[in-house]
């Protein structure tokens, strides 16, 4: 098979992904097709994720450097984005390397005219980069933050209604970080200390551990976690600490009937199994058979042989009289923009209202699944109020057979949100944005 560079793979992903596939899935497909060494795999991932995240700022620079208001082909535009990302954000990449390969790739996937255009813009950037003027923060904070920190204006506008300019910038900066890999130790098979030793021996750098008292690690330096001994032998599950905190909000009791209504890909369902030490009936349900199969594979890898699986629509769940019900509802995912590279560009503001309507429907149905005195936990990976406390408050107003239960005794005080709910924020807690509320059926 012909050799291919990390930059070429990155360009192919950038050209191909809009409207065809998620960029991380497309990248993984290319990485499996071309067997790059570990360092090149990491570079390709870095280039794709960074170029997509910083797209709005990169496009602003391109427009300012292009003297003609011309329509640019996808090849030339993405070759420019890719090269400018390296020149603006990667100190270790020599300017000549980013420039020359960008021009060569434009010529390979486009034509000589596109290559000449890319060459002219990149060389002008090297001459004039210090003179580029971005929107003024005092005159137009929305345009300034959305351009300089590369977020959609509608999202910045929403945040500025809740946060100060400084905090909005901190949140946007946190979304642009390169997130470390969050790992939950499977305490039914290993300890945190043993897991650290195993991962370190395979080249992982342990960045932090034990967030909020959880058996959790954050690591970097691994090109693929699923090839490690710890992962293959079910000692660890990929999961952000904020997501694992939802299991603490549930705090299931052994010998209980526990249902996860929206379980894929299985991080929370398998954590619930571990929290009761396998002593209980844990049912992982999902509307998609394909997604449910991933939950089952994770459970098998982790050695959770007692779990049950069911294809079920969370809006009409085929269960009843459950002790604990988890609803990790479909949402906009605005709390995980650091990990989901393209999500900020894929979502629109009206998606929030649309998702909230679905979430209310699912949570209302979930309450009927719980027995009297049973617990229903509602969670999302969004930080938008309409999807979080707005949904909970709407259901509480409509239903007189449920009440909010304070979670302050279950999770650390720094993540306790209004009225005893949970909220983590990327710029404050250093983890994904995650919301959870604990309801009791009365």
Would you tell me how many other CB atoms lie within 10 Å of the CB of residue 313?
14
Mean pLDDT across the stretch 192-220? 92
Q: What is the CATH number of domain 6-131?
A: 1.10.940.10
Pull the structure tokens for residue 37.
């060494």
- The pLDDT confidence band at residue 92, using thresholds 50, 70 and 90, is confident
What is the residue-wise DSSP string for 262-289?
T-TT-HHHHHHHHHTTT-EEEEEEES-H
CA 291 to mean position of chain CA atoms: 17
Placement of tokens 């204006």 in the chain: 153
pLDDT attached to residue 9: 96
Strand-pairing partners, residue 376, are 325, 439
Q: Kindly report which listed range (88-92, 271-275, 368-372, 408-412) carries the lowest average pLDDT score.
A: 88-92
Q: 114-142 in b/e burial notation, b at 16+ Cβ within 10 A?
A: bbebbbebbeebeeeeeeeeeeeeeeebb
| pLDDT at 70 exceeding the cut of 80 | no
Does the N-terminal peptide bond of residue 265 adopt cis geometry, omega within 30 degrees of 0? yes
Q: What is the pLDDT of residue 2?
A: 55
Residue numbers annotated as active site: 381
Q: What is the pTM of this model?
A: 0.94
247 neighbors 275 (Cβ within 8 angstroms): yes
Residue 248 has a pLDDT of: 97
Domain 241-441, CATH among 3.30.360.10, 3.40.190.10, 3.40.50.300, 3.40.50.150:
3.40.50.150
Give the model confidence (pLDDT) of 45-57 as tens digits: 999 999 999 999 9
The pLDDT of residue 226: 86
Phi-psi group of 333: left, alpha or beta (phi > 0 → left; psi -120 to 50 → alpha; rest → beta): left
Give the Cα-Cα-Cα angle 230, 231, 234 (nearest 5 degrees): 85
Residue 273 pLDDT greater than 70, yes or no = yes
Class at the top of the CATH hierarchy for domain 181-238: alpha beta
Closest CA to 105 of 74, 129, 65, 59: 74
Rounded CA-CA distance 10/3 in Å is 14
Helix (H, G, I), strand (E, B) or coil at 312: coil
Q: Mean pLDDT across the chain, nearest whole number?
A: 94
Look at residue 18 in the predicted model and tell me its pLDDT: 82
pLDDT band at 107 (very low <50, low <70, confident <90, very high): very high
The larger pLDDT score, comparing residue 22 to residue 234, is at 234
Q: Which residues contact 254 (CB under 8 A, 6 or more apart)?
A: 276, 277, 279, 280
Nearest to 155 by CA among 137, 134, 171, 177: 171
Residue 130: pLDDT band by 50, 70, 90 thresholds?
very high
Q: State the average pLDDT over residues 109-126.
A: 94
Residues 210-215, mean pLDDT to the nearest whole number: 87
pLDDT digits (tens, 9 = 90+) for 142-176: 999 999 999 999 999 999 999 999 999 999 999 99
The ranges assigned to domains in the chain are: 6-131, 141-175, 181-238, 241-441
Mean pLDDT for 228-256 is: 96
**Angle between helix 289-302 and helix 267-275 axes, rounded to 10 deg:** 40
Return phi, psi of residue 371, to 5°: -75, 170
- Contact of 266 with 301, CB cutoff 8 Å: no
SS3 168: helix
434 contact partners, CB below 8 Å, separation of at least 6: 240, 242, 243, 245, 246, 335, 379, 380, 381, 422, 423, 424
What is the band of 407 on the pLDDT scale with cuts at 50, 70, 90? very high
> Which residues does 81 contact at the CB level (< 8 Å), separation at least 6?
14, 51, 55, 58, 59, 62
């Amino acid at each position: 098979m012909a050799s291919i560079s990390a930059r070429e793979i990155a360009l192919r992903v950038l050209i191909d992904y809009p409207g065809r596939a998620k960029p991380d899935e497309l990248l993984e497909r290319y990485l499996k097709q071309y067997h790059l060494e570990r360092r090149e795999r990491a570079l390709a991932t870095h280039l794709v994720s960074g170029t997509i995240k910083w797209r709005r700022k990169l496009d602003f620079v391109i427009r300012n450097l292009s003297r003609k208001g011309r329509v640019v082909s996808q090849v030339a535009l993405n070759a420019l984005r890719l090269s400018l990302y390296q020149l603006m954000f990667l100190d270790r990449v020599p300017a000549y390397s980013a420039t020359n390969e960008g021009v060569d790739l434009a010529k390979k996937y486009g034509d000589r005219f596109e290559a000449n255009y890319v060459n002219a813009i990149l060389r002008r950037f090297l001459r004039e980069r210090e003179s580029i003027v971005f929107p003024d923060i005092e005159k137009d904070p929305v345009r300034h933050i959305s351009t300089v920190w590369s977020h959609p204006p509608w999202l910045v506008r929403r945040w500025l209604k809740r946060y100060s300019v400084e905090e909005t910038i901190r949140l946007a900066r946190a979304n642009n970080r390169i997130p470390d890999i969050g790992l939950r130790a499977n305490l039914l098979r290993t300890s945190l200390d043993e897991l650290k030793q195993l991962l370190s021996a395979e080249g992982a750098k342990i960045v932090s551990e034990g967030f909020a008292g959880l058996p959790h690690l954050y690591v970097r330096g691994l090109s693929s976690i699923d090839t490690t001994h710890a992962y293959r032998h079910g000692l660890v599950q990929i999961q952000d600490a904020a997501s694992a905190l939802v299991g603490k909000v549930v705090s299931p009791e052994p010998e209980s009937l526990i249902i996860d209504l929206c379980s894929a890909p299985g991080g929370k369902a398998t954590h619930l199994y571990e929290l009761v030490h396998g002593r209980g009936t844990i049912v992982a349900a999902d509307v998609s058979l394909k997604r449910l199969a991933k939950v089952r594979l994770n459970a098998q890898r982790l050695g959770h042989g007692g779990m049950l699986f069911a294809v079920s629509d969370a809006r009409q769940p085929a269960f009843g009289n459950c002790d604990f019900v988890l609803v990790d509802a479909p949402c906009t995912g605005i709390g995980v923009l650091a990990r989901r590279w393209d999500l900020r560009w894929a979502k629109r503001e009206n998606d929030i209202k649309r998702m909230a309507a679905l979430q209310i429907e699912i949570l209302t149905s979930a309450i009927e699944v719980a027995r009297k005195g049973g617990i229903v936990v509602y969670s999302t990976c969004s930080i938008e109020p309409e999807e979080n406390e707005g949904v909970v408050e709407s259901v509480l107003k409509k239903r007189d057979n449920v009440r909010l239960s304070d979670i302050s005794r279950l999770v650390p005080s720094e993540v306790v949100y209004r009225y005893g709910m949970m909220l983590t924020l990327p710029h404050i807690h250093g983890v994904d944005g995650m919301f959870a509320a604990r309801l009791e059926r009365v």
